[in-house]
């Protein structure tokens, strides 16, 4: 199936800017931003980030507070702190052979950076890749990663796959099946996550929010520093 998939990707692959580089730092930034954030929202933020901090050394030299402010709007702000710490590690020690040694980098992100930046034949398995694997019953090698991302995102959809457009449909045992809706993520509106986000925006703007529970939670994650009743961004 690899050949059919790659031929389809050659004609239908998405033109995403991080696919035009093998710079491990640029790819790491894209992978971290893409966690829990839609592609269309990431593209302009990724470009702006690399314009401001084009290398691990540049990002490592920034303050954690600057990084947190620049991350606002992407959500899950702990990712910004992890990315900053990873850049500091690379600036000080270079890229480790085992990429999971970098703060915030788990097996998936390590596989993605290893494949796209360092040419390793390893398949990063995200939700889309796993879905295609399970439905087709096929194993794919690392050369198919980007194609699997796109097939899962645009054709082999979670609920109602577009089997008529799928290059793998003829041999797919799941062809024509429909699926129950996945469990929805808990609502952001009114959640503690929203309270954290509101409190962090306030601190970034120089205000002092009164939500002490949110501030304690943010301080635990290294997103703010508490000094008595006052909160500030980390240096």
Domain of residue 162 covers 1-13+121-182
Model confidence pLDDT, tens digit, residues 105-129: 999 999 999 999 999 999 999 999 9
- The residues near 228 (Cβ < 8 Å, ≥ 6 apart) are none
In a domain, 167, yes or no: yes
Residues 216 and 143 in one domain: no
- The average pLDDT across 36-53 equals 96
Q: Is residue 187 part of a domain?
A: no
Nearest to 133 by CA among 10, 31, 2: 2
Q: For 145-171, what is each residue's pLDDT tens digit? A: 999 999 999 999 999 999 999 999 999
Same domain? 32 vs 68: yes
Please count the structural domains in the chain.
Answer: 3
pLDDT of residue 162: 96
In a domain, 18, yes or no: no
Residue 58, class by beta-carbon neighbours within 10 Å (0-12 exposed, 13-18 middle, 19+ buried)? Answer: middle
Q: Which of 140, 156, 182 corresponds to the end of one domain?
A: 182
Annotation marks residue 31 as catalytic:
yes
The answer to the question of residue 6 being in a domain is: yes
Q: Are residues 28 and 104 in the same domain?
A: yes
Q: Where residue 178 sits, what CATH number does that domain have?
A: 1.10.1670.10
Predicted structure pTM score: 0.87
Determine, yes or no, domain membership for 42. Answer: yes
Average pLDDT, the chain: 93
Of 91, 118, 145, which one is at a domain's C-terminal end? 118
Q: Is residue 144 part of a domain?
A: yes
61 is a domain residue = yes
CB crowding 166-189: b at 16 or more within 10 Å, else e: bbbbeebebeeeeeeeeeeeeeee
Shared domain for 174 and 210, answered yes or no, is: no
Q: For residue 97, is it within any domain?
A: yes
Same domain, yes or no: 36 and 69: yes
Whether 165 and 135 share a structural domain:
yes
Domain finish residue from 182, 202, 224 = 182
DSSP tag of 97: S
Q: pLDDT over 90 for what percent of the chain?
A: 73
Q: What is the pLDDT of residue 183?
A: 65
The active-site residue out of 31, 66, 180, 189 is: 31
* One domain, residues 28 and 105: yes
Confidence of residue 33 (pLDDT cuts 50, 70, 90): very high
Average pLDDT over residues 59-71: 96
What is the band of 196 on the pLDDT scale with cuts at 50, 70, 90?
confident
- In terms of domains, do 30 and 86 share one? yes
- Confidence at residue 184, expressed as pLDDT on a 0 to 100 scale: 64
Phi, psi of 142, rounded to the nearest 5 degrees: -65, -25
Alpha-carbon distance values, 163 to 155, 170, 182, 208 (Å): 7, 9, 19, 53
Residues 28 and 99 in one domain: yes
- pLDDT score for 55: 98
């Amino acid at each position: 199936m690899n050949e059919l998939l790659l031929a389809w990707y050659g004609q239908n692959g998405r033109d995403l800017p991080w696919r035009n580089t093998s710079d491990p730092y640029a790819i790491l930034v894209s992978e971290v931003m893409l966690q829990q954030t839609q592609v269309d929202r990431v593209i302009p933020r990724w470009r702006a980030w690399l314009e401001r901090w084009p290398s691990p050394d540049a990002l490592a030299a920034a303050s954690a507070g600057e990084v947190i402010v620049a991350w606002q709007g992407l959500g899950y702000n702990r990712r910004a702190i992890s990315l900053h710490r990873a850049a500091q590690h690379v600036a000080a020690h270079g890229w480790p052979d085992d990429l999971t040694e970098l703060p915030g980098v788990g097996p998936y992100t390590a596989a993605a950076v290893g494949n796209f930046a360092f040419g390793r034949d390893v398949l990063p398995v995200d939700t889309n890749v796993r879905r295609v694997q399970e439905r087709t019953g096929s194993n794919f090698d690392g050369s198919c990663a980007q194609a699997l991302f796109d097939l899962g995102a645009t054709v082999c959809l979670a609920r109602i796959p577009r089997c008529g457009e799928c290059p793998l449909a003829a041999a797919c045992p799941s062809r024509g099946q429909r699926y129950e809706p996945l469990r929805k993520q808990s609502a952001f509106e009114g959640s503690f996550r929203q309270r954290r986000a509101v409190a962090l925006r306030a601190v970034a703007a120089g205000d002092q929010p009164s939500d002490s529970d949110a501030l304690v939670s943010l301080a635990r994650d290294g997103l703010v520093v508490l000094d008595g009743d006052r909160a500030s961004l980390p240096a």
